[in-house]
Amino acid sequence: MKKRILNIFTVIMLLLVITSCSVNLSTDGALGSEHKELRIHFIDVGQADCILIELPTDEEVLIDAGNREDAGVIMNYLNELDIEDIEYFILTHPHEDHIGSAPDVLSYYDVDKIYMPDVSSDSQIYKKTILAIQNEDAELIKAKAGTSIIDSGNLSFEVLAPNSMWYSETNEYSLVTRLVYGDTSFLFTGDAESVSELEMVKAGYEINSDLLKVGHHGGETSTSQVFLDAVTPKYAVISVGKGNSYGHPHNKTLSRLNAIDANVYRTDELGSITVSSDGSHIKIDETAKPYIPQPSEEKNANKTKYIGNINSLKFHYPDCSSVSNMKDTNKKLFKNRADAINQGFEPCSICEP
């Protein structure tokens, strides 16, 4: 009888030990997931966009897919990281330099969800992309401002634009997304230009972010001052091709970024750029050095004078073509853009002050 009782006691003790180990393992796993690293790769695809995000949940996000000829670069990069599937594929808008290699990506990787704006194109690459999506049998979501991609604990991923049904420029349809991990935040803007930027500011969205993926490869029609004033990024990454024919990134854009003391990183100078976050701190690849503005750009950054037209209630840079046609009696000078906006003036759509 004593032996039987001893055996029962031994079994109970073993069960308690196993249960205790299970609890400890479960707790360690939970803590580990909270402290996993988020990694963002701005892949160098020249004059195009392609961003891979490795989430702390062991899921992957791919934002855009470069030009058609970038398929090898993109897939080699992903294969080096042992990426086997993509949970979230975001195609910001239907321009070739953003969806060019999407058909190849879709044919090679398993993709769960695809996010696109509600705008189409007559281009062959767009038609080929849509056909590839249909063949993949992935869930296609026509996203807009307010669409939630991820909302889980200390990780959220939300669409902030587009906010309108119709735009005159395809770039303005770009999906703008904001990723938040713990106390760190990242804003990805596609090719969104000043119209969409102003809509986000006026809508009162939380767009203040630690890192900004600069819109439209650093073009002058994006990254407007009113938008930068709301985002206030510490870091800015420009995906742009070396010696491109567009003159990107534009000096005005670089000056505006310099004026807010953002650390600027460019793929045309550095190649692919890797950013990581533990939820508290952001680290940029140690080999990546921030862009140093030229003296002429620093001088331009310190120019704070703007000229408003009291008839149109628009304000401009002094060298804007609209100013040369403006009567002196219609001109109103401002020391900074805040004064102009506070007095009811709106930025010119041509010079994008």
What does 147-185 look like in DSSP terms, one character per residue?
-EEEEETTEEEEEEE--SS--SSGGGG--EEEEEETTEE
Task: Please indicate, yes or no, whether residues 295 and 313 belong to a single structural domain of this protein.
Answer: no
pLDDT at residue 32 in the model: 39
Q: What is the mean pLDDT of the chain?
A: 87
Residue 128 token pair? 């080929």
267 shares its domain with 330: no
The predicted model scores a pTM of 0.76
Residue 215 pLDDT more than 60?
Answer: yes
Ramachandran area for residue 41 (φ above 0: left; ψ -120 to 50: alpha; else beta):
beta
Per-residue pLDDT tens digits for 178-197: 999 999 999 999 999 999 99
Tell me the residue type at 186: F
| Percentage of the chain modeled with pLDDT above 70 | 86
Q: Is residue 289 part of a domain?
A: yes
Find residue 41's DSSP bridge partners. Answer: 52, 274
Query: Same structural domain for residues 119 and 45?
Result: yes
Compute the average pLDDT of residues 157-176. Answer: 97
Domain assignment present for residue 221? The answer is yes
Kind plus residue range of the DSSP H or E element containing 65: none
Give the CATH number, domain containing residue 219.
Answer: 3.60.15.10
Enter the tokens of residue 5. Answer: 């009782």
pLDDT value at position 294? 60
**Would you state the structure tokens that stand for residue 334, as one six-digit string?**
């401002």
In a domain, 17, yes or no: no
128 with 277, same domain: the answer is yes
Place of tokens 């587009």: 162
Is the pLDDT at 3 greater than 50? The verdict is no
- Taking the C-alpha atoms of residue 58 and residue 55, their distance in angstroms, rounded to an integer, is 6
Q: Is the pLDDT of residue 18 over 70?
A: no
Q: Which domain holds residue 325?
A: 304-347
Evaluate whether residue 26 is within a structural domain. no
Per-residue pLDDT of 139-162, as tens digits, reads 999 999 999 999 998 999 999 999
pLDDT at 35: 58
| Residue 23, pLDDT score | 32
Q: Give the torsion sign (CA, 237, 240, 246, 251).
A: positive
Tokens of 116: 């696109």
Same domain flag for 310 and 296: no
Q: Does any domain span residue 239?
A: yes
Q: Is 151 inside any structural domain?
A: yes
343 part of a folded domain? yes
pLDDT tens digits, 257-279 = 999 999 999 999 999 999 999 99
For range 309-331, the mean pLDDT: 80
Residue 4 reports pLDDT greater than 80: no
Q: Are residue 283 and residue 340 in the same domain, yes or no?
A: no
* Per-residue pLDDT at 256 exceeds 90: yes
Do residues 310 and 198 share a domain?
A: no
Whether 319 and 258 share a structural domain: no
Number of domains, the chain = 2
Q: Are residues 246 and 334 in the same domain?
A: no
Residue 69 pLDDT? 96
Q: What angle do CA 254, 53, 183 make, to 5 degrees?
A: 75
> Quick one: 68 and 81 in the same domain?
yes
Strand ranges across the sheet with 148-152: 148-152, 155-161, 176-181, 184-188, 211-213, 235-238, 263-266
Judge if 258 and 321 occupy the same domain: no
- Are 208 and 293 members of one domain? yes
Q: What is the pLDDT at residue 333?
A: 83
Above 80 in pLDDT, residue 329?
no
Task: Determine which of 35-49, 104-118, 183-197, 309-323 has the lowest per-residue pLDDT on average.
Answer: 309-323
Kindly calculate the radius of gyration of the chain based on its CA atoms and give it in whole angstroms: 25
What is the CB neighbour count within 10 angstroms for residue 263? 16
Identify the band that residue 26 occupies on the pLDDT scale cut at 50, 70 and 90: very low
* Sequence letter at residue 129: T
